[in-house]
A and B are shown apart, each in its own frame.
Chain A
């Protein structure tokens, strides 16, 4: 279900924990699986559960507890905008409006072409660089302005095509 490269990564994570605690690697395993497949389908969750010897529901609990996992399909680029207090003070609401306008979708929605999903996020621990967002969880874009949003979206669109 996952490529050997992904499995190698998961195995490396498993090795971080005592040998009888494979379950500890479930967060990384889900992360690796999501990076490869885009989102955590039920089959993928079952696969991870089998791989780590966990009940599927226990893996599902984890996958639905943490914000950055997607248990529903998302666009190629998931933009998560922090709207928490420091970002709010620094103009996140305006950025939110602008993003919605540019992508023609609301928070929690995916654009018609499947390219973008827009999400509202909580504090990302980088408030001095507000307002900010992440792209596909692992990349952070800081000090957002309308211009920066334009650049970001244009570049991602280019990258996609």
Chain B
């Protein structure tokens, strides 16, 4: 596993026992929280700084974080909640796990600052089921932070109180969707809620709630410490900061790379050691399995930021770069992806529950030599009938890979249908 640190989140990742409170504090940890509490910074000033940084949510949708924070009702009487989404289950994504493993205190500090800015006293961090070791590490980090007075009552001697708890998931991709995640914390099955109302007005236990991704929170201490402007300048306008890219698949050095937003893809590919075994780069899924696949030539023109990837017809998503070389059969790849959405649909809305199974079965047939001429038009249409018609974006996520694969690799599907086997 390769970790390449940048200035913001993995700046201490190379240090021995980087996850320990001592290590963190020794390298400037918790100074941002101290600054906020003792200066003190006003809530408005914090949110303004975050807005200035152009930090966009790292969970996939890329929503401007400062703006989201400003939606929290300021004068609400009663409990409000802060929730961190560490449920990364999007195929190709593994950055949040490494934040929890290597720099948990950045997350804790970021959440404490966010809680202060939004007047929240209680937070939860929802951790993906299969990474039990990360949960344990995070539990220990919370203990350390509590013992050192960074969490709990009267933090750093001020009257600010904030408590944070981990909630461990148990194997459901859909719980990454923020309202499903809230349902899950409430002790229910993780079925997304219809929005509106949005979590800012009706969130956890029906109370105003802000949800951000792990990496989003972990970027906050830097922004407060160094200023929003400096963070923005690490990247480019509208795409502030560094971003962690999880590179997996057919590269020599898969791993997490924290690089400046706007870095050319080619550079990232090179950092990751290039294509494995000297083979040819065929295709890339740039932002996790839900983002449309891009052929190598298009990908090689992109820079790694929201705008460039969007322009190329895909999305930066959570920065989960899946690299495929020329041995990959796109029918097979799509079959696996479609199976994933079929298996992970929560099952409440009709188009997703029924449509994901349909998509999978048709692709499965094609892959197994049972394809029919009309199948490709059918796939297109079924995908179209799912997209935009469901409660949550899993429906769109299931439709996108189908549509993109058919757009860029139609010939492979046609070959499969005609010959009953693979062209690669």
Q: Which residues of A contact B (CB under 8 A)?
A: 16-18, 21-28, 30-31, 52, 54, 58, 61-62, 65-69, 80, 83-86, 88-90, 121-130, 134, 137-140
Chain B interface, >50% SS class: mixed
A62 and B205 CA atoms in complex are apart in Å by 17
Minimum CB–CB distance for B235 against chain A, Å: 23
**When A85-B333, A85-B337, A123-B90 are in contact, do A27 and B254 touch as well, CB less than 8 Å?**
no
Contact residue among A30, A89, A124 (Cβ-Cβ distance under 8 Å from B322):
A89
Q: Is B246 an interface residue (CB 8 A)?
A: yes
B164 to chain A: closest residue by CB = A16
**When A66-B170, A122-B344, A127-B92 are in contact, do A83 and B190 touch as well, CB less than 8 Å?**
no
**When A28-B168, A67-B172 are in contact, do A128 and B256 touch as well, CB less than 8 Å?**
yes
A residues in contact with B165, CB < 8 Å = 16-17
Contact residue among A27, A83, A139 (Cβ-Cβ distance under 8 Å from B132):
A139
A85 and B320 CA atoms in complex are apart in Å by 12
A residues in contact with B254, CB < 8 Å = 127-130
B253 to chain A: closest residue by CB = A128
| Residues from 333 to 348 in B contacting A, C-beta threshold 8 Å | 333, 336-337, 340, 343-344, 346
Q: Mark B46-67, 1 if CB is under 8 A from A, else 0.
A: 0000000000000000000000
Contact residue among A21, A26, A31, A124 (Cβ-Cβ distance under 8 Å from B130):
A124
B332 to chain A: closest residue by CB = A88
The reply to whether A27 and B184 form a contact with Cβ atoms under 8 Å apart is: yes
B residues in contact with A17, CB < 8 Å = 165
A residues in contact with B357, CB < 8 Å = none
| Residues from 396 to 413 in B contacting A, C-beta threshold 8 Å | none
Minimum CB–CB distance for B218 against chain A, Å: 16
The reply to whether B249 and A89 form a contact with Cβ atoms under 8 Å apart is: yes
A residues in contact with B187, CB < 8 Å = 21-27, 52, 54, 62
The reply to whether B188 and A138 form a contact with Cβ atoms under 8 Å apart is: no
The reply to whether A125 and B184 form a contact with Cβ atoms under 8 Å apart is: no
Contact residue among B94, B171, B333 (Cβ-Cβ distance under 8 Å from A126):
B94
Minimum CB–CB distance for B86 against chain A, Å: 9
Q: Is B193 an interface residue (CB 8 A)?
A: no
The reply to whether B248 and A86 form a contact with Cβ atoms under 8 Å apart is: yes
The reply to whether A16 and B186 form a contact with Cβ atoms under 8 Å apart is: no
Among A58, A68, A134, chain B packs the most CB atoms within 10 A around the CB of A68
Contact residue among A30, A68, A69, A125 (Cβ-Cβ distance under 8 Å from B97):
A125
A86 to chain B: closest residue by CB = B248
Minimum CB–CB distance for B182 against chain A, Å: 11
The reply to whether A66 and B172 form a contact with Cβ atoms under 8 Å apart is: yes
B residues in contact with A85, CB < 8 Å = 91-92, 249, 285, 289, 322, 333, 336-337, 340
The reply to whether A130 and B186 form a contact with Cβ atoms under 8 Å apart is: no
Q: Mark B310-330, 1 if CB is under 8 A from A, else 0.
A: 000000000010101000100
Closest 9 CB pairs of A and B: A67-B171, A23-B187, A65-B189, A124-B130, A68-B171, A127-B248, A138-B132, A128-B254, A66-B170
The reply to whether B322 and A31 form a contact with Cβ atoms under 8 Å apart is: no
The reply to whether B91 and A127 form a contact with Cβ atoms under 8 Å apart is: yes
A18 to chain B: closest residue by CB = B205
Minimum CB–CB distance for B288 against chain A, Å: 9
Q: Is B361 an interface residue (CB 8 A)?
A: no
A122 and B170 CA atoms in complex are apart in Å by 12
The reply to whether B91 and A128 form a contact with Cβ atoms under 8 Å apart is: no
In the complex, besides A18-B205, A85-B340, 18 extra interface pairs with C-beta distance below 8 angstroms are: A24-B185, A62-B187, A62-B188, A66-B171, A67-B129, A67-B171, A67-B172, A68-B171, A85-B337, A88-B336, A90-B249, A121-B171, A122-B89, A122-B173, A125-B97, A125-B128, A126-B94, A127-B91
A140 and B134 CA atoms in complex are apart in Å by 11
**When A27-B187, A86-B322 are in contact, do A127 and B93 touch as well, CB less than 8 Å?**
yes
A22 and B343 CA atoms in complex are apart in Å by 29
Minimum CB–CB distance for A16 against chain B, Å: 4
A residues in contact with B236, CB < 8 Å = none
A90 and B323 CA atoms in complex are apart in Å by 11
A residues in contact with B91, CB < 8 Å = 84-86, 122-123, 127
A86 and B110 CA atoms in complex are apart in Å by 30
B residues in contact with A137, CB < 8 Å = 129-130, 132, 170
A61 and B205 CA atoms in complex are apart in Å by 19
B residues in contact with A124, CB < 8 Å = 128, 130-131
**When A121-B130, A125-B131 are in contact, do A30 and B170 touch as well, CB less than 8 Å?**
yes
Minimum CB–CB distance for A91 against chain B, Å: 11
Minimum CB–CB distance for B257 against chain A, Å: 10
A128 and B252 CA atoms in complex are apart in Å by 10
